[in-house]
Amino acid sequence: MAERAEKVSTLVLFGATGDLAARMLIPSLYALDSDGLLPADLRIIGTARTELNDDGFRKHARAALVEHLPQGFFDFDQADRFIERLHYVPLDITKPTDFEKLTKLVDDDHSGVAIYLSTAPSLFKAAIDGLEHAGLTSSKVLMALEKPLGTDLASSREINGAIALAYPEERTFRIDHYLGKETVQNLLALRFANSLFEPLWNSTHIDHVQITVAETVGLEQRGDYYDNTGALRDMVQNHMLQLLALVAMEPPADFDATEIRDEKVKVLRSLRPVTGASAKRDCVTGQYAAKGGEGSYTNDLGRPSATETYVALKAHIDNWRWANVPFYLRTGKRLAERETEIFIQFKNVPHSMFANRGAKTLPNKLLISIQPDENIRLLVMAKTPGLDRDGLRLREVPLDVGLANAFADHRRRIAYERLLLDLIEGNPTLFVRRDEVEAQWTWIDGICAAWAAADLKPVPYPAGSWGPAEADELIERDGRVWHDDA
């Protein structure tokens, strides 16, 4: 494992007046502070273009806490203590000389500095140049980067290349906030802290896997970003491929950044490329259309667009463990429910002794709900009570673990709390390594090229529905159904 950095005493937050900082970063830092988890001497230096001074930024941060902390969590005294840590430097990323203002604020040897870039990726390169100008590219500095890291493999390589010239890989923290979610980490516990599942976790026993990230929100305030990105790059390239890698990877020997990321990258590199020929068969894209009171995507955007707000696809992992086990992925905006889940369908029993009694067995299923509920549910067959004079009946019943109940005395934390604390402590396990990001983009670029070659266009689906009917056909052709239809 890489040598740990010293504890961070200065956190420089680029994009400090932005939406992510207000909704997630500032509330997460406050929550960590309330629990006494931040280093006593930690200073948080916000920077953005907006002309503010320390007081102005503190006011802004306090308003963000009031608005975004969960009900009952805001405490006046605690907020007063927390905002004392906050400072502000107005800075134009495109002007290297502006970065000199930061030099004065950090220790000379940089050993306790972490920089968090929560800005548009088009500004990453300029930010690195500015940091270099200010002498802040020392190998001791920790560099955290928000997604998206580029828009394709080439641009991601360019960004990663510029970062690599300035910061060593073990000091580079690429954020995928899904890795900070408790239930996502729980996937590791479910798979590798139980002996029950691992012997069955392969193509001999698993029929297929479904990963769903359904959102009810639409474009929100991010029209230009989203329209240039689309569902494939916004959600599949990062969050969904990380979920897939955690489900599919081989058991790492240790809970260690190198071991875990080595296993994930092997999965990502084993994804079968989608080609022009398979694109139309294995992929469906959609765009939400008006329904009832809900506007269409193009209404929300204010102009015509061919960007997909929904994607469903069938992926294959070409290795020994997963041969012939399809992974069906789907994600979309303005769907019927907010729901992130992993659904694993096992194979049916090889022979049913109940067939001669007219009873049907259904395959076992494991449902891992990530949000909004955090549940693990195993569906097993049971006999329906009775004397069975009219034949024996079997029914599917759930074995449920509601994690919120099982751990009722534990506070549910924002994913960013975990990630920010790991950053401050210099632990990169839950951050994405360069080779992972590049393997993700390699697969996604192949899909984009295949879509273009096949002239695949998004089909409309009604806002508030479960997506286009074509996505149902995609899975039904294989004799399977999406979990919510089962």
Which 305-364 positions form the footprint of ligand BG6 (CB under 6 A)? 340
Shortest Cβ distance from residue 183 to ligand BG6 (Å)? 11
Nearer to ligand BG6, 216 or 465 (CB): 216
Query: In the sheet where 113-117 sits, what is the strand order?
Result: 86-90, 43-48, 10-14, 113-117, 142-145, 172-174
Which 413-442 positions form the footprint of ligand BG6 (CB under 6 A)? none
Which 168-197 positions form the footprint of ligand BG6 (CB under 6 A)? none
Residue nearest to ligand BG6 (CB): 234
Catalytic pick from 60, 87, 239, 483?
239
**Is residue 390 left, alpha or beta, with left meaning phi > 0 and alpha meaning psi from -120 to 50?**
alpha
Nearer to ligand BG6, 102 or 301 (CB): 301
How many chain residues bind ligand BG6 (CB under 6 A)? 3
Shortest Cβ distance from residue 89 to ligand BG6 (Å)? 27
Shortest Cβ distance from residue 231 to ligand BG6 (Å)? 8
Which 39-78 positions form the footprint of ligand BG6 (CB under 6 A)? none
374 touching ligand BG6, by CB under 6 A: no
Shortest Cβ distance from residue 311 to ligand BG6 (Å)? 13
Q: To which H or E segment does residue 473 belong?
A: helix 469-476
Nearer to ligand BG6, 270 or 285 (CB): 285
Nearer to ligand BG6, 33 or 215 (CB): 215
Q: Which residues of 113-142 are buried (b: 16+ CB within 10 A; e: fewer)?
A: bbbbbbbebeebbbbbbbbebbebbbeebb
234 touching ligand BG6, by CB under 6 A: yes
Q: How many residues does the chain have?
A: 486
Nearer to ligand BG6, 8 or 415 (CB): 415
DSSP 8-72: PSEEEEETTTSHHIIIIIHHHHHHHHHTT-S-TT-EEEEEESS---HHHHHHHHHHHHHHHSPTT
Nearer to ligand BG6, 173 or 322 (CB): 173
DSSP 399-427: EEEEHHHHTTTSPPPPHHHHHHHHHHTT-
Which 134-163 positions form the footprint of ligand BG6 (CB under 6 A)? none
Shortest Cβ distance from residue 447 to ligand BG6 (Å)? 18
Residue 395 structure tokens: 């029914």
Shortest Cβ distance from residue 372 to ligand BG6 (Å)? 9
Distance between alpha carbon 279 and the CA centroid of its chain, in Å? 24
**Catalytic-residue membership of 239:** yes
Closest-CA residue to 160 (of 437, 479, 463, 474)? 437
Residues 6 or more apart in contact with residue 57 via CB below 8 angstroms: 16, 17, 46, 86, 87, 88
215 touching ligand BG6, by CB under 6 A: yes
| Active site amino acids | 239
Contact residues toward ligand BG6 (CB under 6 A) are: 215, 234, 340
